[in-house]
Amino acid sequence: MADDPKPLPSVPQSVLELSAFNPVARDNPHPLLKSLREGCPVMRDEGARVWVLSRYKDIRDTVNDRTFVRHPLNADPESITARLVEEGRERRTSILFLDDPDHARIRQPLAKAFYARINRMRPEIEAMVDKVIDAAPASGAFDLMEQVAVPLPVLVIARIIGVDEARLADFRQWSEDVILGLNPVRTSEENARMISSGEALDAYFGELMQARRKAPQDDLVTDMVQLQASGEANVEDDEVRLNLQALLVGGNLTTTDLIGNGIWLLLNHPEQAAALRADPGLAAQAVEEVLRYEAPVQVTSRIVEADRTVAGCPMQKSQPVFMSLAAANRDPDTFEAPDDFDITKKRASHIAFGGGPHICIGAPLARIEARHAFVKLLSRYPNLRLPEQDLAWRTLPFFRGLERLIVES
């Protein structure tokens, strides 16, 4: 069940060595992360000018500590974090990089509306999962990413937000293009596409807000304009548009990877797939174990607000602190036999969704989709298996997911 015990690689010296830019880490980051956690749990990367934490406790304490800040404008201008700020658009950011009071002002009403809606729409979301999986080939070999894991999250978020059926195809294309924003090595053609689709999406969200003010519907855009009108949400129109886009960008690739990584792990551990088939009540625990074992988002970060000690080391104002969620999730001080993939074992809470005020807002949605997708896929395909294939992990730094996953039944 565990990874093969091999000698550990030497302690990594830079954050990029831990990312998918490094073919070794892309293939399997865990030996490198283990070596970092054991050999240098508070690492200074002078090239990227960031700190890197890898122990669970240090990371848990840091994400929960509200005295750190998040906006890249607070970061050492020579650090890789400062490069996240687009020239001329410095202040325009979603809750992902906002600090209080703006973060709380926007996140609170958004989260309230989003969670109420997800709760109400749960049967409909599960029906969408069924529909996508039922449309995949009934037998033979197919790419699970292409047929299920990629199309599902965008369909669900489109329905939640309230995208009109007639604009679904445009919406899909715009989504794909704006997600290029996560790729730091995009070409100039991709960059141009990202910008123009971002503008199209922004204009479309603006149209939707106007339309829903006139004729309310059962969707998140209506919820937000109604909260604005009642005074419950003190949020500007452009902030609503920007944060709807954040839901789209934050939720698509990540949920895609949760589903892809999960089916890969389950099929690689047939006894675990059998346990889940026999007891679908294990689905929630299975999803948590997948998130722990192969975290789709491998890193998050904070910025030191004033000189202080972090994890026992003196750090200075404006220094960014990167945290390897993937390393924390396999810390043996927190998880017994951390390299075992075991969906039947009760474990401490993983940290794949981050924590504290910035904890992933989409976690409940990702959980609903993945739980239902795992159970549905295993029941629709009683003989689902992995044929021989060269696995291709995505090259996007700090994300862990498959380009393709050929399955066969």
The amino acid occupying position 212 is R
Exactly one of 33, 50, 85, 95 binds ligand HEM (CB under 6 A); that residue is 95
Residues whose CB is less than 8 angstroms from the CB of residue 26 and which lie 6 or more positions away in sequence, other chains included: 20, 393, 394, 395
Q: Output the smallest distance, CB 157 to ligand HEM, in A.
A: 6
Q: Which is nearer to ligand HEM, 222 or 252 (CB)?
A: 252
Q: Which is nearer to ligand HEM, 85 or 352 (CB)?
A: 352
Q: Which is nearer to ligand HEM, 25 or 297 (CB)?
A: 297
Q: Output the smallest distance, CB 352 to ligand HEM, in A.
A: 5
The whole-angstrom separation of Cα 283 and Cα 129 is: 15
Measured CA distances, 9 to 38, 265, 360 (Å): 11, 24, 32
Q: Output the smallest distance, CB 250 to ligand HEM, in A.
A: 3
Residue 354 near ligand HEM by CB under 6 A: yes
Q: Output the smallest distance, CB 264 to ligand HEM, in A.
A: 14
Q: Output the smallest distance, CB 340 to ligand HEM, in A.
A: 21
Cα torsion 361, 362, 365, 371: sign: negative
Q: Which of positions 102-141 make contact with ligand HEM (CB under 6 A)?
A: 107
Exactly one of 51, 293, 353, 398 binds ligand HEM (CB under 6 A); that residue is 353
Q: Which of positions 69-88 make contact with ligand HEM (CB under 6 A)?
A: none
Exactly one of 247, 265, 315, 375 binds ligand HEM (CB under 6 A); that residue is 247
Exactly one of 254, 285, 318, 324 binds ligand HEM (CB under 6 A); that residue is 254
Residue 63 near ligand HEM by CB under 6 A: yes
Residues whose CB is less than 8 angstroms from the CB of residue 39 and which lie 6 or more positions away in sequence, other chains included: 11
Q: Which is nearer to ligand HEM, 63 or 282 (CB)?
A: 63
Exactly one of 19, 35, 222, 255 binds ligand HEM (CB under 6 A); that residue is 255
Please say whether the beta carbons of 366 and 266 come within 8 A.
Answer: no
The whole-angstrom separation of Cα 25 and Cα 40 is: 17
Q: Output the smallest distance, CB 326 to ligand HEM, in A.
A: 10
DSSP string computed for 87-151: TT-TT---GGG--TTHHHHHHHHHHHHHHHHHHHHHHHHHHHHHHHHHTS-SSSEEEHIIIIITH
ω before 101 within 30° of 0 (cis)? yes
Residues whose CB is less than 8 angstroms from the CB of residue 46 and which lie 6 or more positions away in sequence, other chains included: none
Residue 360 near ligand HEM by CB under 6 A: yes
Instruction: Quote the tokens at residue 383.
Output: 């003989």
| Axis crossing angle, helix 151-161 with helix 363-380, rounded to the nearest 10 | 130
Q: Are strands 42-45 and 392-393 parallel, antiparallel or unpaired?
A: unpaired
DSSP-H helix ranges across 231-300: 237-268, 270-278, 283-293
Residue 96 near ligand HEM by CB under 6 A: yes
> Over the Cα atoms of the chain, what is R_g?
21
Residue 162 near ligand HEM by CB under 6 A: no
Residue 359 near ligand HEM by CB under 6 A: yes
Window 280-299: contact mask with ligand HEM (x via CB under 6 A): ----------------xx--
> If phi over 0 gives left and psi between -120 and 50 gives alpha, with beta otherwise, what is residue 88?
left
Q: Which of positions 316-345 make contact with ligand HEM (CB under 6 A)?
A: 325
The whole-angstrom separation of Cα 214 and Cα 226 is: 11
Q: Output the smallest distance, CB 187 to ligand HEM, in A.
A: 26
Cα–chain center distance at 7 = 31
Which region, judged by CB under 6 A, interacts with ligand HEM, from 78-86, 243-251, 333-341, 374-382? Answer: 243-251
Exactly one of 198, 320, 362, 401 binds ligand HEM (CB under 6 A); that residue is 362
Q: Which is nearer to ligand HEM, 242 or 407 (CB)?
A: 242
Q: Output the smallest distance, CB 55 to ligand HEM, in A.
A: 16
Residue 250 near ligand HEM by CB under 6 A: yes
Number of residues that bind ligand HEM (CB under 6 A): 28
Which residues contribute to the site for ligand HEM (CB under 6 A)? 63, 95-96, 107, 157, 246-247, 250-251, 254-255, 258, 296-297, 300, 325, 352-356, 358-362, 365-366
